[in-house]
Amino acid sequence: MKIVCISASQVPSSTANSIQVQKVCQALAQLGHDVVLLVPGSKEHPWEELASLYGLQHRFQIEWLRSQPGFRRYDFSMAAVRRAKALGVDLVYAWPPQAVLFSLMSGFPTMIELHGEPEGKFGPFVFRLILRQPGIKRFLPISQALADIISQQFNYKFPENELVVSPNGIDLERYNQLPGSAVARRTLGLKDTFTAAYTGHLYTGRGMGILVELAKSFPEVQFLWVGGRPEDVESWKKRLAEQSTMNKNICLTGFVENQRLPLYQAAADILLMPYEQQIAGSSGGNSAAYCSPMKMFEYMGCGRAILSSDLPVLHEVLNESNAVLCPPEDSAAWVEAFSGLMNNPEKRDRLGRQAVQDVQNYTWLERARKALEGFYEK
């Protein structure tokens, strides 16, 4: 099929939503579909640059369409649907609700990515119009928790064929041949000592306070903080510099291109996911009740022990067999759990092996296949 994907994410960008869009499009292309991604912007970027930034191996077409920020993406969404019509597509796969509505009104079979509750002044109104709009459509919420929240919020029972819960995923082929942690550390020029790593942004709610407490409690351990916007990295470097003892065992790498990220994750003996009870994203909000972190699947693919906050939604994927779960924001519990893992290599290996086995069901390719299964064939 010819599929047009419509996203309001900036491209290129280091935000999780931008990375997720690229992974979805790549998976659709891997299934043999002719994929065109439409995003707002006026400047084209070479594929080689994007492939390195996003860790892509399979090419698809990207087009940038001009839009005005003041129009809340309505102008972009209308232009994108017009472009889809001009391309003669069989299916529209969209993230912005405005594009979803215009696509359905234009008669296109439409796939709808849901990453949060409809927000803003017009968000709920537009979403109700989408629910009422006739046509072939399917909703893809990133967790069952999100599906339940939306169903309750809008008093809407999704027909069976309209809903496929679609957690985020992993490019498993990039994780199958990773070196051991010691080899990965040497390759990256890191100290070859026991290492714990956190990868991702340093936004509010990501548990940076827990990471600081762990570093204080285990001065002999090397802590890697991989990622973050430049301003956040500099802010944390300044804060840590004011506590001279913290400079010795925390290494902030700054942003690392997705292509190189697996090696940094492989350098760890323990991978950390200390989410708080309120999690902010690049655009704010709170996703703690329904999130599906991409880093969770990447951590699982590394085959390392995972120490994670015990958020109810994460139980859709994590359990006591593939991770150690701690109460969020409880420093004492985290220190105790970290010590237990650090001193029990057999448990770390067992958790890592089970995580690798469990993540086989969460590839981007399988996610795309399930999303399309039984939906629409021309």
Per the structure block, which two tokens stand in for 60? 């698809």
CB 355 within 8 A of CB 325: no
CB 342 within 8 A of CB 359: no
Residue with tokens 């990133």: 142
Integer Rg of the chain from CA? 21
pTM: 0.95
**Strands 195-199 and 270-273, how do they pair?**
parallel
Beta bridge partners of 93: 5, 111
Per the structure block, which two tokens stand in for 22? 């690229």
**Strands 2-6 and 110-114, how do they pair?**
unpaired
Provide the pLDDT for residue 127: 97
Provide the pLDDT for residue 85: 98
CB 204 within 8 A of CB 178: no
332's CB contacts (< 8 A; 6+ apart) are none
What domains are defined for the chain? 2-169+363-372 (3.40.50.2000), 173-359 (3.40.50.2000)
Q: What is the DSSP letter of 314?
A: G
Per the structure block, which two tokens stand in for 36? 């065109």
Per the structure block, which two tokens stand in for 243? 């506590």
Sign of CA dihedral 168, 257, 203, 319: positive
Please state, in angstroms and rounded to a whole number, the distance separating the CA atoms of residues 38 and 5.
Answer: 6
Per the structure block, which two tokens stand in for 173? 């082929």
Rounded (5°) CA angle 14-185-273: 50
Per the structure block, which two tokens stand in for 123? 């968000």
Per the structure block, which two tokens stand in for 372? 């399309």
Provide the pLDDT for residue 84: 98
Q: How far is CA 365 from the centre of its chain?
A: 15
Per the structure block, which two tokens stand in for 366? 């399988």
pLDDT truncated to tens, each residue of the chain (378 aa)?
Answer: 999 999 999 999 999 999 999 999 999 999 999 999 999 998 899 999 999 999 999 999 999 998 877 666 889 999 999 999 999 999 999 999 999 999 999 999 999 999 999 988 889 999 999 999 999 999 999 999 999 999 999 999 999 999 999 999 999 999 999 999 999 999 999 999 999 999 999 988 899 999 999 999 999 999 999 999 999 999 999 988 887 656 689 999 999 999 999 999 999 999 999 999 988 765 557 899 999 999 999 999 999 999 999 999 999 999 999 999 999 999 999 999 999 999 999 999 999 999 999 999 999 999 999 999 999 665
Provide the pLDDT for residue 326: 98
User: From its phi and psi, is residue 73 left (phi > 0), alpha (psi between -120 and 50) or beta?
Assistant: left
Question: What is the b/e burial string over 338-375, where b = at least 16 CB atoms within 10 angstroms of the residue's CB?
Answer: beebbeeeeebeebbebbbebbeebbbbebbeebbeeb
